Amino acid sequence: MSGIVALIMGSKSDLKKVVPAEEMLGRMGVKAVTAVISAHRQPEKLREFVESAGEQGVEVFIAAAGKAAHLPGVVASLTTRPVIGLPISSSDLGGLDALLSIVQMPGGIPVATVAIDGAENAALLACSILALKYDDVAEALKVYRKELAEA
């Protein structure tokens, strides 16, 4: 067993930007649970998903959002598990609006943040967190880094 990562996005249109995270998690042997839930349009559904995630074995959240990008912060406000914000370039501002929204969380509610459209790094950061507990994930990360160095 190597942990579970929940990938949440606010819109189906974000899926193509999230797929690289799903693929990287699969490569590392980590199960992903993917959900499309809007923090603005479905706040109760989001609360239920986040609060029940621990029972399903979710240990880390990746929350992808564009524009105002409230999803990662709302997820972080509902859990003490690690949350990684993935800013999506879905507006005229090229994702800078999403990046700034995610990075500027208030004190006490942290969200780790990766680059705009940085889905692979979001997955790798989630794996780094899981590697503290799961030796198979730590080993998969070592192999991946070795392959990067050799390429």
Which residues sit in the known binding site?
Answer: 11, 14, 41
Residues in Cβ contact with 101 at an 8 Å cutoff, skipping those fewer than 6 apart: 65, 67, 68, 69, 70, 73, 87
Nearest 5°: CA angle at 46, between 67 and 44?
115
Annotation: binding site for substrate: 11, 14, 41
CB atoms < 10 A from the CB of 19, how many? 13
Q: H-type helices in the chain, by residue range?
A: 15-27, 43-53, 71-78, 96-103, 119-130, 135-150
